[in-house]
Amino acid sequence: MNLHAPSRRDVLLASGTLFAWAHLPRLAQAQGRDSRFLAIILRGALDGLATVAPIGDPDWVALRGDNALTLDGKVPALKLTDFFALNPAMPNLHRMFQANEAIVVHACATPYRERSHFDGQDVLESGMPKVTPSESGWLNRALASLAPGGRVDPKGSKVFAVGPVTPLVVRGPAPVLSWSPQRAMPASEDTIGRLLDLYRHSDVKLASVLEDNSKLAAIEHPGDAMKKPVSGAAQARAYFSEAAGNAARFLAQPDGPRIGALALDGWDTHVNEGIASGRLSQLLGALDDAIAAIKANMGPAWRDTAVMLATEFGRTAHINGTDGTDHGTATVALLVGGALKGGRVIADWPGLKPGDLYEKRDLRPTIDLRAAIKGVLRDHLHADERILAQNVFPGSDGVKPMAGLVA
């Protein structure tokens, strides 16, 4: 069944808050595992250097200055290896890493090399090698390719949808259910400002509506402008945990879905990024709570679970003039779950010297993100490697699945 392809305006207004999953019968018991897989798309471009800092790189502290996470900083980073350390806002992820239930893939990127959120997200979620119209996403095509009667039967369900937009990554021929959290993810002031600027030039009527709503909110809550963004951070934390926690509850059911996708917005940190104590720290803390909620709500099924967290691209290596970071290239992908062979940072480190940076500004990509995704789909869901290269990620024959991610 073809699903409605939303317009760009629909996507913006929905703000990527929809949880959607392919509703499938139980996976056949194979090798003692009833596999679950959840893809989490972090929309807005996550700062990979601020999430997992290369503390062993001799150029790291000079690059980021006071914003460089270190093991002996004012807010100490959490050691992963002698070379890498985790943002201190993520103690739950750190414990999973120590328990061999988490993997970091660093200096990775999709094939996309420009810096448009819309195009970058389309490439990330469609699985296409470049920006091109697509009515389906890589996860849905992977499901559709799995043979009936095998580990997954994609024909065992009806379509059921709630909410305005189904994420592109799960749109396509395989049947899809969707569910949307009741609470809304608050938009940052920077995001609102950029949307207003965009629509003042492209959709004057919509810009007028957004401006009027902002003015009404200011009249209704005149003191909010003087407050620190604690309430917004609390809302993000509650939203992330609700969305991810309920996703895990669905996936943990004996007769429930086994494959899911969830989009979380807010990672566009142009202004006052606050790497160790600020907006990004708050977002990473909210994501850390969400990861913990997934593990808690999966229960015994956690041992059969793999979760992949990916973003459309990274951010600039240097901090900008407004204490934020601009659109970049390479970043991190995170894997968590009891089914993983974890406790590792996988990286072909490119270095941080000026000559090492991509276009003299970004962390240079050395790992194709599709290799990590392919590795999980092949070894966790038993997807066919040939189909992964030709249909799930078209034109990716030269990108081999990353081996050894799954225990």
Q: What is the pLDDT of residue 253?
A: 84
CB 60 within 8 Å of CB 68: yes
Q: Which residue has the higher pLDDT, 306 or 12?
A: 306
pLDDT higher than 50, residue 160? no
Is the CB of residue 42 less than 8 Å from the CB of residue 172? Answer: no
Q: Check residue 161 and give its pLDDT.
A: 27
Residue 89 three-state SS: coil
| Structure-block tokens of residue 344 | 């590792």
pLDDT band per the 50, 70, 90 thresholds, residue 67: very high
State pTM to two decimals: 0.83
Please state the rounded mean pLDDT for residues 116-123. 97
Token pair recorded at residue 139: 């996860």
**18 pLDDT higher than 80:** no
- Please give the average per-residue pLDDT across 118-140, as a whole number: 96
- Summarize the confidence of residues 133-162 as an average pLDDT: 63
Mean pLDDT estimate for the chain: 83
Residue 90 has pLDDT above 90, yes or no: yes
Task: State how far the Cα of 158 lies from the Cα of 23, in Å rounded to an integer.
Answer: 8
Best-predicted range by mean pLDDT (51-60, 139-148, 267-276): 51-60
Extract the tokens encoding 248: 């895990």
In this structure, what DSSP letter does residue 208 have? H
Mean pLDDT of the 233-244 span: 86
DSSP string, 1-23: -PPP---HHHHHHHTT--EEEE-
What letter represents residue 258's amino acid?
R
pLDDT at 21: 56
Query: Residue 96: what pLDDT?
Result: 98
**149-175 average pLDDT score:** 55
The CA-based dihedral angle spanning residues 71, 74, 43, 140, taken in that order and rounded to the nearest 10 degrees: 30
Query: Which pLDDT tens digit goes with each residue over 322-334?
Result: 999 999 999 999 9
Report the pLDDT averaged over residues 244-270.
87
At residue 263, the pLDDT reads 87
Phi, psi of 355 (to 5 degrees): -75, -15
- Structure-model confidence comparison of residues 21 and 96, the more confident one: 96
pLDDT in tens, 239-248: 899 888 888 8
The pLDDT of residue 262: 86
Q: What DSSP string runs through 333-360?
A: EEEE-TTB--SEEE------SGGGSBTT
The C-alpha torsion from 44 through 48 and 50 to 51, rounded to 10°, is 100
Question: Which range among 87-96, 263-272, 352-361 shows the weakest confidence by mean pLDDT?
Answer: 263-272
- Token digits of residue 120: 């970058």
Q: DSSP alpha helices (H): ranges in 65-128?
A: 91-98, 117-126
Task: Tell me which residue of 386, 285, 397, 367 sits closest to 103, measured CA to CA.
Answer: 367
Out of 27-41, 193-207, 216-230, 277-291, least confident range: 216-230
Q: In the chain, what are the domains? A: 8-181+230-392 (3.40.720)
pLDDT higher than 80, residue 287: yes
Q: How many whole angstroms separate alpha carbon 226 and alpha carbon 216? A: 16
Whether 217 shows a pLDDT value over 60: the answer reads no
Q: Please answer whether residues 396 and 389 qualify as being in contact, where contact means their C-beta atoms are separated by less than 8 angstroms.
A: yes
Q: Which of 70-74, 82-86, 204-208, 353-357 shows the lowest mean pLDDT across its residues?
A: 204-208
351-407: per-residue pLDDT in tens?
A: 999 999 999 999 999 999 999 999 999 999 999 999 999 999 999 999 999 999 999
3-class secondary-structure state, position 361: coil
Neighbouring C-beta atoms of residue 150, cutoff 10 Å: 14
Task: Please classify residue 137 by burial: count the beta carbons closer than 10 Å to its beta carbon, then call 0-12 exposed, 13-18 middle and 19+ buried.
Answer: buried
Q: Which of 330, 331, 310 is nearest to 374 (CA)?
A: 310
What is the model's pLDDT at position 20?
53
Average pLDDT over residues 235-254: 86
Average pLDDT over residues 310-314: 98
pLDDT on residue 13: 32
CA 97 from chain center: how many Å? Answer: 18
Whether the pLDDT of residue 143 is over 70: the answer is yes
Residue 251 has pLDDT above 90, yes or no: no
> Looking at the chain, how many residues does it have?
407
Quick one: pLDDT at residue 347? Answer: 98
